[in-house]
Amino acid sequence: MRHKFNKMLELHTWAKTRHVFVRQLLTNLVKNGKTTTTPKRAKVLKAEVDSFFGNLVRMSKKLDEKDARRECIRYIKANIYGEAEGKKVLNVLLPKYIESGATSSFVADYKLGFRVGDGVQKILLKLL
């Protein structure tokens, strides 16, 4: 039996390299505001982004301002590569999401067609 096994969330990498790869995708999405990828990677990245920003919004609402900022910085450093991208999350994106009151659905996905080389479908992920 194959209980609790989702074939769609499999990226065919080992656990450590999968975590690094997802962090790189998340960093690129934050840096550029959008990214183009395959459907499997898009599904994994969308779940990761919703979890990431949802946790940040929850931390900010739950704790007082000083503690929330410190905990958010710690959490961002654990999940984002690069200091500039971390500052962008903390100073630009997070206040926008807190102000809007969103707790999920931080990313929109659009189908773009198929890649020229191997014919795999392309999906554009864009931060809202």
pLDDT in tens, 44-101: 999 999 999 999 999 999 999 999 999 999 999 999 999 999 999 999 999 999 999 8
Domain extent at residue 30: 14-127
Instruction: Supply the pTM of this predicted model.
Output: 0.85
Q: How buried is residue 4: exposed, middle or buried, by Cβ count under 10 Å (0-12/13-18/19+)?
A: exposed
The CATH number given to whatever domain includes residue 71 is: 3.90.1030.10
Residues in the chain: 128
d(Cα 87, Cα 107) in Å, to the nearest integer? 19
Within-domain flag for 53: yes
d(Cα 106, Cα 118) in Å, to the nearest integer? 30
Share of the chain above pLDDT 70, in %: 88
